[in-house]
Every structure is written in C-alpha cells, then in structure tokens.
Structure 1
Amino acid sequence: MALAIAPSAFAQAWPTKPVRMVAAFPPGTPGDVIARLIQPALQTAWGQPVIVENKPGAGGNIAAGEVAQAKDEHTLLVGPDTILTINPHLYKRLSFNLRTSLKPVTYFASFNQTLVCNPATGITSLDKFTQLPSTRLYASGGPGTPSHMTMEMLLATTGTKLTHVPYKGPGPAALDVMGGHVDCGFIVSSVVQPHIQAGRLRAIAVSGTARSGLLPDIPTVAESGHPGFDATFFETLMAPSGLPAATVEKIQRDVRTALQTPANKARLAEMDLRVEGNTAQEAQRRSQEDFAKWGTVAQRAKLQLD
C-alpha cells in the first residue's frame, strides 16, 4: 500500500523548488511565446517560480542535451516536436540519445507550413507546382527544419524534383521567395500570412490535415489531390525520461488548464497555433508515429547533419 501511495504523494508535493522551462529556440519563437504566456498560471498552480530560459542552437539539441542530463526533476524542455521526431535521424553523433533521454509531456499546440510561390512564377495550384523542372529552386528555413522536411515529403509524394536552397530561418526564406531569387517554399503559416494578404506571395497549399485559421481559403495538400498527406508539427513540452508518471500527469493537466483560457487560445490563434493539450500517452504515441514517418523522409533524401 505504501508503494502504491508514494507516486501520488510525490506528484502532490511537486514542485518543491523553482521550475526551469528551457526553450530550445530564441525569444519570440512560438514555443517561447507559449511558455511565457502560460507562465503566470503555472506559477499560481504550482506555488513556485517558473523560469523560462532560452538556449537556442543546433536545431534544439543544445537545450535538449541540458534537459536530458538535468540532475533534478524541475527542468523541462520547450520546443517543436521535431527535436524527438526528426533530429534523431539527422544528428547521429550526439553524446546522448534524444529518444530515450526525453519524453513528451504534452503538445502545447499544432502548426502548419504553407506552400508559397512568387506570383511571377504563374503557379496557382499544386498541379502546376509539380510541373516545375528540376532546375528550379525552393527555399527552406534551414536543413532539417519543418519547412525542409515538408518539402522533401511533398517532392517524394508527387515525384517532383527541385533544388534546395536553405536559409537561416523562415523570415529570410520568405524574403527571397518574394524577391524572386527562389521560386517557392514551405514556410510556417504565421510568417507568410501578411505577405499573402499583401499579394507579395501566392499561397498554394497547407501542409497539415486541417486548413490554416489564418488562411481558411487555402486547401491542404491532401485536399489538393494527395490523400493522407500530413505534415503537422507541434510545439511541445518535454521532460527527462525518468520523471515519474504521476508528476508528468500533474504537469500535463495544469498546462492544459492554462492553455484553455479564452485569452490564451485567442492569442495562439493569432499566431496560427491550434491549442492541443493532449495527454502524455497521446503525445508519446503520435511522437512515435511521426518519428517513423520522418525517418523514411530523411533516408530517402539522404539527410544527415553531423
């Protein structure tokens, strides 16, 4: 009986000191914004300070390594699910194992990439996009990023061949598509939406299973003739794999409550983020499925970054 009660009692006691949420990307990126948005509610729920720290670099691996090797149970990781679903396929020489050292606690929110082209290309549909010759160029936010992997999955799905031009983030990629230096690119919807509305970019399709809340008239890739295509991504809260299940459940419940307030949902919708807040079991199951999916894409494209 004592052994059965112990995990529950520990979860009720947690946290016993300030909680660190290590953001894997710079201030202002979606995961960082979400962490700071729910920070006050979590401090109230937990009765301890919640400290958000940014440790960007190496596609999220710097922050991931710090959290994976943390010596206490009060350090959490904030970043895209790609840290667990894509990075393990691309970074084979890390000093720790991403998949076994970390586990998802919950998905904060889902987000999509939008396929955009320079209006001068004359591309108005996905069918016309697939007719581009292999000499034409596409932009991404960098090697192994969601924009790069989504395009590689689409090229494999449609049998199209294009030349990849990586940039240091979605902003510079969008600028060069607008400038006509590259033809098209999958770029996170929140970045390209203002340029689409202004006519500087033409939206062709959305990567996920649901249309973008910011671009409701733009079809998904699946709706455009490729059923089953799904490149949905998730801003994620992760923890060291040894964190007790009862504590994980407590964190997930409190995070979900914080996310579900009307004000927070509205703020995230402005960034084209769809609130999730699912259980750890649901997040872990989806993470395993996406790990397998992106492994196929990485292998086909012969991608490795170390």
Structure 2
Amino acid sequence: MTQVTNPSRRRATAAALALLATGLAPAVRAQERWPSRPIRLVVPFPPGGSSDVAARLLAPRLGERLGQQVVVENRPGAGGTLALGQVAKAAPDGYTLVLAAAGGLTISPSLNPNLGYDPLADLAPITGFARIPFVLVAHADLPVSRADELIALARRQPGRLTFASGGNGTAMHLGGELMKSMSETFIVHIPYRGSAPAITAVMAGETQLAVSDITSVLGKTEGGRMKVIGVMSKDRTDLAPGVPTLDETGLKGFDVSGWFAIMAPARTPQPIIARLNAEITSLIRTDEFRERFRALGMEPIPTTPEELTQMMRAELARWAAVIKRAGVKAE
C-alpha cells in the first residue's frame, strides 16, 4: 500500500529543519574554530590598579597562545558587580571573559538581594587567578605582637579597641568580623574609603588595628609607627615569609584573603572552558608570572573549574553567616 504524504506538511517539516540547522550552525562553527576573533577580558575596576595590571600582563600572552588578540576592557562601578552583571548576560560563546574579584562573587550576593546575577548559576568558572594576602596590623604602642596576645587584651577591654578596614562590607571588614566572632571578642569597626586611609589611621593612632591587603602595608612598618600582628591566610605568604599567620598564633583555622578568578558567562561550551583553563593556569605557573605577581602583592592560585566552584560555594556560605551575625549592611 502506497503511503500518501501531505505536501504542505512535508514542506513545513523541511522548513523547520532548515531553520533549526540555520540556528545551530553558527554556534557549532564558532565552537569548532574558536577563537576566530578577538576576545574581551573585562576588568571590573579602573585602570592602574593591581587587578588591571595583572590582566594586562595576562592578555597578550594568552592571545599569543590562542592565536587571537585578548583585549582588556575596564568597566568599573558598584564595587565590581556592574561588570559581573553585564558579563553574566553576554553571549556564552567564549569571546567575553571577566577577571572577577572575590567580593563580587561571594560577598555581594548576601549584601544586595537585587544584585541582578547569581554567581553560581549565571557565570562559568574557568580558574582561580591570583590571591592577595590580608594582614592584621596594629599601632606600634599597642602592647601586643601576636594574635593570642591581642585576643587576651580585647577580652579584658571589650569595646575599647577599634579596627579599620577599607570600607563597610569589604572582604577586609568581614575578615575582621570573622576574627571577632572566632575569638569571641568585641572590637569596634571603623570603615575608611580604601586600604591606604585605613593604614594611615593606624599609623596616626586614630585606630589601634586595621585589616588590610599586604600591598598597602609593605614598606610602611619601618618608621616604627605600625607593626604587623599576623598574616590572615592559613598559610604564610612568600611576600612576607617571616610573618606568622593568625592560625599559628592563637586563632586556629582562621583563613581569609582577597582573590580573583577568571569567569565566563554560564553555558559557555565546555571545550572552550577547558582550553582557557589549560592556557591560563599554564601561564600563571611560570616564573615570569610569579615574579610579576609578587611585585603587585599577589600570588598565583591556579585551579580547576571544579575547585573554583567549591571555593565559591564555601565562601558564599561563610560570608552569608558572618554578614547575618554581624548585621552588616551595604553602603
């Protein structure tokens, strides 16, 4: 028996298949020959800062390996969240990347319920990029030199000590709040507009303590007005190898630092993510990058995408708890 096919249905099916092929073909071709045009690396901060300098160190070397230019694009605003929101909405084709700071990935979601992006759902992790160690510093006259001595003093004088940070809701502020919580002490937070003013306040005696990135501290303790109590990351830093950690000197398990990661829009094809991870981690493991990062007060932290995801999940949960417990509000 001969089957009769409706000509109209046959033409409609053919048209639908052609339309589907037309829609899929560019994506398939783009993935097959990626990259075939320049790639944007968005930096959520103004030109000249350490993250911008590090991005401009990476861009030409990554471009050489990929065979296409990597262009750094500065998009400052809203503490880095503006750029992250824009990248989260970009086409997931491997041509838009972002050098994301830890704050925008793991702190801002708990401070701003209307952020406009979900760092786990809307961004694809590629690799950890760099870590900036934090340090706890004190005015030279404060009669402590280790974390355990500071804890004992703070417990004897609840509310009498103050600590400065580079701003309300920053990683440095929350690091101080976590220190207070873990040590069961009451130290008053005083926010400043950046690490440099916070360090100046300690040296001038306006505050007794400050939590700061190590870059803002190096070279400023020689005048005798300020001393470093300890490194806040769990491991010592090569930037100041003689300085012990808080974990070593009275605050077991304490581990706080600033860090950056390379991200892409969610749903970026996995082969592209894998290629970028391989090239970037290979670069930042080189002696050149270690030395250049050291000059910027940074340390390379190459990771797999899975390791970066785990780090983000852990810090999202940790900072959400600290923010809730301390009642921190966005400025």
Q: TM-score, normalised by structure 2?
A: 0.85
- What is the deviation of 1:299? 1.3
Task: After TM superposition, list the pairs within 5 Å mapping 1:210-249 onto structure 2.
Answer: 210-249=235-274
**Given that residues 141 and 148 in structure 1 are in contact (C-alpha distance below 8 angstroms), is that contact kept between their aligned partners in structure 2?**
yes
What residue is the counterpart of 1:39 in the other structure?
59
Task: After TM superposition, list the pairs within 5 Å mapping 1:196-215 onto structure 2.
Answer: 196-215=221-240
In the superposition, relative to structure 1, how do residues 274 and 181 fare at CA in structure 2: closer, same or farther (>3 Å)? Answer: same
- What is the deviation of 1:11? 4.8
Name which of structure 1's ranges 92-101 and 177-186 shifts more when overlaid on structure 2.
92-101
What residue is the counterpart of 2:79 in the other structure?
59
What residue is the counterpart of 1:22 in the other structure?
42
Aligned: 1:128 with 2:149: yes
- What is the deviation of 1:220? 0.7
In the superposition, relative to structure 1, how do residues 212 and 8 fare at CA in structure 2: closer, same or farther (>3 Å)? Answer: farther
CA distance in 2, matches of 1:248, 1:151: 35
What residue is the counterpart of 1:260 in the other structure?
285
CA distance in 2, matches of 1:79, 1:117: 30
- What is the deviation of 1:198? 4.0
CA distance in 1, matches of 2:30, 2:304: 19
CA distance in 2, matches of 1:239, 1:208: 27
Aligned: 1:143 with 2:164: no
Name which of structure 1's ranges 136-145 and 122-131 shifts more when overlaid on structure 2.
122-131
The amino acid across from 1:95 in the alignment is G
Aligned: 1:163 with 2:188: yes
Aligned: 1:184 with 2:209: yes
- What is the deviation of 1:107? 0.6
Name which of structure 1's ranges 94-103 and 217-226 shifts more when overlaid on structure 2.
94-103
CA distance in 1, matches of 2:56, 2:68: 15
CA distance in 1, matches of 2:126, 2:50: 17
1:112-167 C-alpha deviation (Å, 9 max, x unpaired): 21000110223322123222331332110111212101101000000111211111
**Given that residues 108 and 115 in structure 2 are in contact (C-alpha distance below 8 angstroms), is that contact kept between their aligned partners in structure 1?**
no
CA distance in 2, matches of 1:189, 1:107: 19
- What is the deviation of 1:8? 9.7
- What is the deviation of 1:92? 0.9
CA distance in 1, matches of 2:46, 2:134: 19
What residue is the counterpart of 2:103 in the other structure?
82
Kindly report structure 1 stretches of 4+ aligned residues shifted beyond 6 Å.
Answer: 6-9
Higher-Rg member (1/2): 2
- What is the deviation of 1:284? 0.9
Residue 255 of structure 2 aligns to a residue in which SS? coil
- Aligned residue among 104, 108, 125 for 2:125: 104
Aligned: 1:115 with 2:136: yes
Aligned: 1:298 with 2:318: no
CA distance in 1, matches of 2:237, 2:28: 40
**Given that residues 91 and 265 in structure 2 are in contact (C-alpha distance below 8 angstroms), is that contact kept between their aligned partners in structure 1?**
no
In the superposition, relative to structure 1, how do residues 242 and 119 fare at CA in structure 2: closer, same or farther (>3 Å)? Answer: same
Aligned: 1:284 with 2:309: yes
Q: TM-score, normalised by structure 1?
A: 0.92
Residue 156 of structure 1 aligns to a residue in which SS? helix
The amino acid across from 1:31 in the alignment is S
The amino acid across from 1:26 in the alignment is P
Residue 116 of structure 2 aligns to a residue in which SS? coil
Residue 204 of structure 1 aligns to a residue in which SS? strand
The amino acid across from 2:228 in the alignment is A
- What is the deviation of 1:10? 5.5
Residues paired across the two proteins, number: 301
In the superposition, relative to structure 1, how do residues 55 and 78 fare at CA in structure 2: closer, same or farther (>3 Å)? Answer: same
1:70-104 C-alpha deviation (Å, 9 max, x unpaired): 13531111132222111111111223333321232
